[in-house]
């Protein structure tokens, strides 16, 4: 086990509880120990909330209430494993707030994400964090193979994002004054479970499938991706 350093950051996203890869938590802990990561960032879509989403609901899946209860079981396991974490909000995470807005409800009628899921004190949640001069955000609204590096170029800062489950890469861009990277963090979803297949049926015809893994960024430089072998 390497000595932990807060400037070595463990990065992952898109777990979509309760449809996560069953051994993904153990995998991330192994990588944290191997690389001595003292800071942990979840890039959002930590929960699925699919049955209250804007896609057609899936009658073969559990109810919205049951999906929440099962996702909360997963959340509590991660609270215990990671007492401190940065969590960026993903588009699935904020579905209740988005649906409330669609229904015309003022924000004070809707619980915050932190309240709804009982986040620990050691968890910081928000749209975006900048750590060691690297932008960490979910990537909502971005698409395509070069989404992460395009985010970095737009920010003119190295950036890490999730959102696109089949994107798992690091791409660099250099200018006359700097060299920055765009990190695409893949996902933590269970590709093989029946319920996960139904939950993500809107993407069943996509050619590129989810890649499960996590990443490590040290001192704002030298990012690496580690694929989970399934």
Higher pLDDT, 195 or 104: 104
- Cβ count near 143 (within 10 Å): 11
Q: How much is the pLDDT for 161?
A: 98
Strands 5-12 and 213-218: antiparallel
| SS3 state of residue 69 | helix
Output the six-digit token pair for 130: 């900048």
193-225 confidence digits (pLDDT tens)? 645 555 565 555 667 789 999 999 999 999 999
CATH at 176: 3.60.21.10
Q: What percent of the chain has pLDDT over 90?
A: 75
Tens of pLDDT, residues 53-77: 666 666 767 788 899 999 999 999 9
Helix (H, G, I), strand (E, B) or coil at 31: helix
Domain that holds residue 164: 5-227
pLDDT in tens, 159-199: 999 999 999 999 999 999 999 999 999 999 998 764 555 55
Q: How far apart are CA 97 and CA 109, in angstroms?
A: 10
How many domains does the chain fold into?
1
Residue corresponding to tokens 């209250």: 52
Q: Is the pLDDT of residue 22 over 80?
A: yes
CB neighbourhood size of 151 (10 A): 22
């Amino acid at each position: 086990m390497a000595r932990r350093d807060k400037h070595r950051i463990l990065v992952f996203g898109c777990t979509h509880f309760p449809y996560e890869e069953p051994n993904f938590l153990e995998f991330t802990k192994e990588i944290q120990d191997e690389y001595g990561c003292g800071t942990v960032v979840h890039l959002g879509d930590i929960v699925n909330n699919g049955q209250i989403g804007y896609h057609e609901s899936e009658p073969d899946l559990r109810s919205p209430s049951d999906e929440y209860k099962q996702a909360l079981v997963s959340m509590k396991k991660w609270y215990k494993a990671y007492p401190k974490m940065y969590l960026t909000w993903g588009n699935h995470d904020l579905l209740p707030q988005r649906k409330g807005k669609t229904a015309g409800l003022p924000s004070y009628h809707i619980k915050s994400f932190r309240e709804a899921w009982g986040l620990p004190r050691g968890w910081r949640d928000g749209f975006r964090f900048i750590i060691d001069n690297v932008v960490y955000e979910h990537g909502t609204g971005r698409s395509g193979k070069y989404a992460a590096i395009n985010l970095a170029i737009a920010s003119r800062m190295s950036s890490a994002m999730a959102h696109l489950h089949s994107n798992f890469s690091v791409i660099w861009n250099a200018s006359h004054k700097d060299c920055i990277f765009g990190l695409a963090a893949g996902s933590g979803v269970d590709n093989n479970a029946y319920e996960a297949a139904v939950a993500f049926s809107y993407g069943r015809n996509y050619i590129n499938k989810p890649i499960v893994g996590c990443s490590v960024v040290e001192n704002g430089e030298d990012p690496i991706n580690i694929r989970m072998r399934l």
